Structure formats: C-alpha cells, structure tokens
C-alpha cells in the first residue's frame, strides 16, 4: 500500500519540527512538501531550520526546498493532507481556503478550534466528533475539511477528566498550569525573563483552558455541538522547564465519589478508539503514579513516547471534592502527536 502524501505548514517552527520528527518512517504518511514564510521559502530546509528535536534531522527532509504559502499556486499539489503549525492569525486566513480547495487540514493552530462546525478532537476523548466534518463541508461548501487539536494545556485537563465526567459527572474545576518554555516556540521566552522565574500570564491561555474542554467533553449532535455544563476557572503560568505542561486540578462531582472509585476509573479506562489500531496510539491514554512526588516533567514527560498523560497525587480537596496533578508533553500529545493521531482517525473512519 502506497503512503499518503502530506505537507507541513509552518515546518521550521517548534511544532512544525515535531511534526517532521513524528512523521519520519510513519506507516501511513510520507512528507512530500514543506511550507514556510517568505523568509524561508525557496531555500533548503536544512539551511534555514534551527533543529531543536532530540533526534537528528532526517536527511531527506533536510534537502527539501520550502515552498511559499501562496494560495494562488496551492492547487493540485502532491499532498492530500496538510498538517498545520501556523500562527493563529495566519491559520485563520489560510486554512479555510485550503479546505475549500479540497485539502484535509489537521491543525494545531487555535484559530478555528471553537468554530461551530470544526471538530476539536483528542481521539481518546471524543473520537466520534470526527463526524462533524460532514456538516462542516455542507455548511461551508468545502471540498476538504479542517480538524483541530486542542491547546497544549487543555490536553492533560481533558484526558484526565474524560472518564471521571462519564462516570461521576464533573460540575466544577479549578486549574493551575505550569507550562514549559517550548510551548512558546523557538526562540521563545528570553532567558533573562524565565530563568529562576515564573511568568504568571500567557496571552489567551486562560480563556482556552476554560472553554476548549467544554467542547471536547460535550457531544456532537448534528448539526452542532452541545457543550458540557462544567464551570472552569484557570490560572496559567510559564515556568523554566523545557518540555511538559503540568496542571493542578481541583474537581467537584455531581455525587459523592471515593478515592478508589476515581483510581479504578482511570485504571480501567479503555476508550473506544483503542480498538481501532491507529499507528500512533499508545497502549493506554493515562497512567497513574502512586509516588507522592510524581509526576515530574524530567522523569515522566516521555511516558508512552510522549503520547500519554501522567496523573498523580489524588487527595481530598477542602474547597471542592478531590484534587490531583496531571502532566502531558506539550509538543507531542499536546500538539503534533495529537494532530497526526486525528489524521489516522479520519482514515480509519472514512477510508
């Protein structure tokens, strides 16, 4: 079986690099085109990229010439799938036009996440929302479609809450994020601002953490989404950690729930998508660590090759019901890895 040709939009950035790393030797997809800014277009990828991944830059990718994002010339391209690591404002202009041209766009950008017809998906959580693309095409008269993955800090929140919400009903949560510097891209936050410091504001992040989980924990009822009825309050902070967003969560349920019930819910959780044998699926979506000082980014961020969420420190909360810690890799399951998983989900569902 021949591989599906894919392109990467914003290929030289941090998330673009992660896409290329994860797509190397992928059993379904082959990178055939790279797209970038006017500064990088026309040059070989290896000449312009500041490669930040912990593996070598693939030689075949290094020699590829970056193409401009020129919508007038993006017809009948070699790729049928586009993975987008574009900045939000550029994504808002470009991605709908690419979908209209017939391309399958899987985006990490925030621009269209809350669009009423764009599914916002983590396959562990809401794989069935992929069906929303049918209504999306109808409403917008697109030949292709856009599927989004969530904010990197929303990811551990939603994955850790999904099974609890199904079983016990979540009413309220309070979230505080400790977000790694790689989430700001490269070169990111200046070293003099972040070393030995915590920056207690990340533009737009609190709003994303307070709204995106409601869409993902809700249901798709054609022709629209019905959001979960949960109150969320979030604080977001940038901390001097390279990779891994750690979140502290306090939660209130619809009914009294014991500690063992929560632990059993996490331990026994087998989302329906696990039966689909998608290439990037980890053996399980979530692991609980019983040590008092876990999870930690240094020790746990690459759990399940960065595609897992690590949870720990479940204990009673004096304000709500229970509180715990969750950690996820912000550029793998929190970004490029989730987007690739969404593409695998599409092909498993429709092809």
CA gap 134, 222 in Å, rounded: 9
Q: Which residues are catalytic?
A: 152, 245
DSSP 275: G
C-alpha 164/C-alpha 172 separation (Å) is 12
Q: Nearest 5°: phi and psi at 300?
A: -120, -5
Secondary structure of residue 199 in the 3-state scheme: strand
Determine the Cα–Cα distance for residues 201 and 308; give it in Å rounded to an integer: 26
DSSP type of residue 131: G
d(CA 195, CA 191): 6
Q: What are phi and psi of 223, to 5 degrees?
A: -105, 20
Phi/psi of residue 294, nearest 5 degrees: -130, 150
Between 154-168 and 259-267, two packed helices, what is the crossing angle to 10 degrees? 110
């Amino acid at each position: 079986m021949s591989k599906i040709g894919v392109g990467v939009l914003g290929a030289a950035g941090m998330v673009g690099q992660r896409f290329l790393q994860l797509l190397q030797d992928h059993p379904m997809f082959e990178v055939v085109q790279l797209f970038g800014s006017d500064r990088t277009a026309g040059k070989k990828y290896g000449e312009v990229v500041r490669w930040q991944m912990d593996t070598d830059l693939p030689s075949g990718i290094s020699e590829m010439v970056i193409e401009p994002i020129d919508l007038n010339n993006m017809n009948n391209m070699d790729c049928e799938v586009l993975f987008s690591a574009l900045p939000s404002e550029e994504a808002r202009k470009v991605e709908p036009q690419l979908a209209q041209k017939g391309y399958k766009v899987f985006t990490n950008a925030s621009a269209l996440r809350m669009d009423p017809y764009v599914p916002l998906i983590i396959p562990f959580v809401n794989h069935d929302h992929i069906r929303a693309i049918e209504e999306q095409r109808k409403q917008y008269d697109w030949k292709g479609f856009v599927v989004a993955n969530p904010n990197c800090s929303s990811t551990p929140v939603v994955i850790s809450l999904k099974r609890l919400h199904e079983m016990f009903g979540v009413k309220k949560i309070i979230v505080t994020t400790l977000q790694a510097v790689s989430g700001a891209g490269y070169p990111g936050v200046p070293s003099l601002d972040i070393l030995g410091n915590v920056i207690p504001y990340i533009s737009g992040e609190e709003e994303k953490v307070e709204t995106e989980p409601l869409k993902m924990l809700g249901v798709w009822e054609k022709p629209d989404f019905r959001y979960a009825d949960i109150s969320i309050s979030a604080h977001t902070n940038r901390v001097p950690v390279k990779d891994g967003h750690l979140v502290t969560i306090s939660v209130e349920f619809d009914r009294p729930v014991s500690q063992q019930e929560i632990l059993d819910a996490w331990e026994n959780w087998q989302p329906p998508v696990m039966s689909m044998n998608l290439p990037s699926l980890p053996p399980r979506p979530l692991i609980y660590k019983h040590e008092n000082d876990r999870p930690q980014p240094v020790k746990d961020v690459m759990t399940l090759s960065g595609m897992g969420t690590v949870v720990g420190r479940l204990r009673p909360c004096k304000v709500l019901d229970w509180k715990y810690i969750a950690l996820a890799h912000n550029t793998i399951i929190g970004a490029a890895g989730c987007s690739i998983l969404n593409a695998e989900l599409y092909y498993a569902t429709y092809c």
